[in-house]
Amino acid sequence: MSQTLKKLRYKYWPDHIFGEILQKPWMETAVPLIVLIFTIVFFSAQIDNFISANNLSDNFRQAAELGFVVLGISLVLIVGGIDLSVASIFALCNLLVLYCMHVWQMPLIGAVSVTLLLGAALGAINGILIGYFRMRAFLTTMVTLIVFKAIHDLLNVKVAVAISSNFPDSPAWDRMGYGAILSIPTVVWAFGILAIFTHIFLTRLRYGWWLLAVGGNRRSAYNTGLPVNRIVALSYVASGVLTAASAIFYAARLASPGADTGKGLEITVLTAAILGGIRLGGGKGSVMKAILGTLIILLITNGLLRMATPAGTSRIILATILLLAATLDIRWFKNRHKAVQELYVSPALLELPGLSKDATSPDSDYAPNERLHDVEIIGLGQVEAPEDVVLDEDDNLYCGSRHGDIIRFFAPDYKRHEVYARIGGQPLGMTFDAEYNLYVCVGGMGLYRVTRDRKVELVTDETNRHFLSIIDDSRLRLADDLDILPDGRILFSEATVRYEMHEWPTDALEGRGNGRIIMYDPKQNKTTTVLRNLIFPNGIVVASDKQSILFAESWNCTIKRYWFEGPKKGKVEMVIPNLPGYPDNINRASDGNYWLAIMGMRSQVFDLSMRKPGFRRRMSKQLPGDEWLAPNINIGCIVKFNEAGEILDVLWDRQGINHPMITSMREHKGYLYIGGITNNRIGRLKLDDADETYVSSGKYHVG
């Protein structure tokens, strides 16, 4: 009973999504969002009609006005500066647009453009001083705050009466202030459009990335050649323009040339930006955060106002909320990665069938022998980590290396070698197509092709994203092994979508179906995922009917067969259910059977722990990563099997001298070539009574 419950729980309860959700960048915005929700809930419980349409429209109108300025200061904060002068820029622009409309009776377009220009000019003063003269942002904008404010105060006494005694005759101007489109205030529309554009700008466009780059690391941005001075200066110009835009809407609504216009605005917008989670110091921030911060500060101040809270009490409440929210946000920002680390590893239940016989007993299918003891050694010490080996029509030998190269050993004696191509990532499975272009699965990079004239080309590095996926599974993280169909389509395995290549032991500890099989169609240049939720799919080979593949699931210790077309299309059948070790690459043998590399033997302890997910979860939370259990990758073994799943032959390197582990082998003209990802050599073994013309890659398709 409890076993059934456990099975159901691990089958249906999605442990892994919590860590994945927590890992998403938008989770950084979680704290401001929660604060906003609490604010809304609190005030709607305290105040009648807090959520009424009227009040909302009023709040949104104010929020949009404030939002322009917050967005502006956010851009400056993202670049790593600060702009205190917004309050005075706001006041000056308010004065100018009112004077243009009321006294000069300018057309709306003219007044708006002049005011925006003034905002840009005032911002440019800050920008030039801070960007080009490299003055300190805080001090400079503080001084310009005082200077602009003084100019405003001097002008205000001269023009206030003229403004108040004239009125513009402009319906468009009134619509800006009070109007609504589809019952949403004009200013909200304007702000919404601007916010969407700014979001796209910051997240999708090059110049937005430049802002984030300068804020994230000014020195690196400078060293990569970005025009740091200009970017910094322009951020202040943007802040000035946005402040001017806010002032225009404010002026249209209130038409008030008050002496106190914009007083304390710099504190309000700075508070809004920080409450939204935009960091002082730069490099972090988004439009969503600016909007959330604006809404929080506005709802709190308006809510307290409507509750008729005494000024002193409301100040205390405001200060307390600000400090609590900031503390929460900063703690969250600082410790989120720890929470992710703890939650991300989510072991699944994996019940491997028990081993029927002692694998080492002489009468078992896998009875050990010493047949790999006397292999001929190629390239000893000259290659590192040849995960896969492959031979061309001239019998030259190719293998990958840890350094991201493809090495070629020259036939016939394989004494000389050269770097055939530089890939940049670790080459794993390799195979030739009929034209002898070399196709390579590269860990962390995707599927690549090395043409006959040695040009390295990307074939594919993304596939269709699953609609339920939380982590972005469109990127190829760990393409592992591949085979090519006669018509040129390529089927390859991706071992896991949750971990990088060097983290494979963690994926083994999870024992979850994180892997998949992907098909690349060169005719349509389309990549599609054909089979999901496989437990570390590794070796792949096209079966004899050309309608199906055989593939190995490493941590599941099985070989399965999958039909990608024909009458059994979509079906998966078990071929070998219970291997004594972890299977790796599969390749064809000359007699129509298959070679399978075994990279390590199962152990009772690891098998037991795979049946106990809770134990592994505790281990992953309480122990440092280097003390976690990991599967044995410690043996050199090659198995020959047929499509019925019968074990036909076994080759062992029992002493582990030549091949302490084997990840791949390839039969070529009567020899078996052996590679292993932890080896520093390639082995060659003469096969008795094998077809001496047989090649397993390249031209074999044709004919």
Q: How far is Cα 559 from Cα 588, in angstroms, rounded to an integer?
A: 14
Pairing relationship of beta strands 456-460 and 446-450 according to DSSP bridges? antiparallel
Whether the bond into 412 is cis, omega within 30 of 0: yes
- Residue 567 neighbours by CB under 8 Å, 6+ apart: none
Q: How far is Cα 210 from Cα 40, in angstroms, rounded to an integer?
A: 36
Q: Name the CA radius of gyration of the chain, rounded.
A: 34
Q: Return the ∠ at Cα 575 (arms to 569 and 577), rounded to 5°.
A: 130
Q: Which is nearer to other proteins, 139 or 200 (CB)?
A: 139
- Residue 313 neighbours by CB under 8 Å, 6+ apart: none
Q: Which is nearer to other proteins, 125 or 589 (CB)?
A: 125
Nearest C-alpha neighbor of 576 from the set 646, 637, 508, 516: 646
Shortest CB 152 distance to other proteins, Å: 9
Q: Which is nearer to other proteins, 302 or 585 (CB)?
A: 302
Nearest C-alpha neighbor of 212 from the set 277, 288, 284: 284
Task: Return residues touching other proteins (CB under 8 A).
Answer: 80-82, 129, 133-140, 142-147, 149-151, 153-154, 217-219, 222, 228, 264, 267, 270-271, 274, 280-282, 310-320, 322-323, 326-327, 330-331, 334
Shortest CB 45 distance to other proteins, Å: 23
Are the C-beta atoms of 92 and 148 separated by less than 8 Å? yes
Shortest CB 141 distance to other proteins, Å: 9
Shortest CB 76 distance to other proteins, Å: 10
Shortest CB 222 distance to other proteins, Å: 4
DSSP string, 300-365: HHHHHHHTT--HHHHHHHHHHHHHHHHHHHHHHHHHHHHHHHHHH-------PPPPSS-TTSTTST
Shortest CB 266 distance to other proteins, Å: 8
Shortest CB 299 distance to other proteins, Å: 17
Are the C-beta atoms of 122 and 237 separated by less than 8 Å? no
Q: Which is nearer to other proteins, 172 or 318 (CB)?
A: 318
Q: Which is nearer to other proteins, 25 or 225 (CB)?
A: 225
Q: Which is nearer to other proteins, 275 or 596 (CB)?
A: 275
Q: Which is nearer to other proteins, 8 or 323 (CB)?
A: 323
Q: Is 14 exposed, middle or buried (0-12, 13-18, 19+ CB in 10 A)?
A: exposed
Burial state string for 593-610 with b = 16 or more CB within 10 A and e = fewer than 16: bbbbbbbbbbeeebbebb
CA distances from 678 to 6, 387, 397, 503 (A): 37, 8, 18, 15
Shortest CB 91 distance to other proteins, Å: 12
> What's the one-letter identity of residue 292?
L
Q: How far is Cα 43 from Cα 695, in angstroms, rounded to an integer?
A: 77
Q: Which residue has the tokens 């932890």?
A: 678
Nearest C-alpha neighbor of 584 from the set 429, 689, 455: 429
What strand order describes the sheet that includes 405-409?
Answer: 389-391, 397-400, 405-409, 417-422
Are the C-beta atoms of 277 and 333 separated by less than 8 Å? yes
Q: Which is nearer to other proteins, 129 or 195 (CB)?
A: 129
Q: Which is nearer to other proteins, 154 or 468 (CB)?
A: 154
Shortest CB 32 distance to other proteins, Å: 14
Shortest CB 326 distance to other proteins, Å: 5
Q: Which is nearer to other proteins, 313 or 528 (CB)?
A: 313
Shortest CB 336 distance to other proteins, Å: 14
3-state percent breakdown (helix, strand, coil) of the chain, nearest 5: 45, 20, 35
Shortest CB 87 distance to other proteins, Å: 10
Q: How far is Cα 276 from Cα 327, in angstroms, rounded to an integer?
A: 12
- Residue 115 neighbours by CB under 8 Å, 6+ apart: 93, 96, 97, 100, 244, 247, 248
Q: How far is Cα 207 from Cα 212, in angstroms, rounded to an integer?
A: 9
Q: Which is nearer to other proteins, 139 or 605 (CB)?
A: 139
Shortest CB 341 distance to other proteins, Å: 20
Q: Which is nearer to other proteins, 155 or 288 (CB)?
A: 155
Q: Provide φ and ψ at 635, rounded to 5°.
A: -145, 150
Shortest CB 70 distance to other proteins, Å: 15
Token digits of residue 291: 């909007």
Q: Which is nearer to other proteins, 53 or 154 (CB)?
A: 154
Q: Which is nearer to other proteins, 74 or 496 (CB)?
A: 74
How many other C-beta atoms can be found within 10 angstroms of the C-beta atom of residue 135?
15
> What's the one-letter identity of residue 416?
R
Q: Which is nearer to other proteins, 312 or 703 (CB)?
A: 312
In this structure, is the dihedral angle defined by the CA atoms of residues 203, 207, 210 and 211, taken in order, positive or negative? negative
Q: Which is nearer to other proteins, 296 or 638 (CB)?
A: 296
Shortest CB 303 distance to other proteins, Å: 16
Token digits of residue 321: 């909320």
Shortest CB 300 distance to other proteins, Å: 12
Pairing relationship of beta strands 397-400 and 405-409 according to DSSP bridges? antiparallel
Q: Which is nearer to other proteins, 268 or 556 (CB)?
A: 268
Are the C-beta atoms of 14 and 335 separated by less than 8 Å? no
Shortest CB 232 distance to other proteins, Å: 11
DSSP string, 68-126: HHHHHHHHHHHHT---TTHHHHHHHHHHHHHIIIIIS---HHHHHHHHHHHHHHHHHHH
Q: Which is nearer to other proteins, 8 or 319 (CB)?
A: 319
Q: Provide φ and ψ at 639, rounded to 5°.
A: -120, 140
Shortest CB 312 distance to other proteins, Å: 3
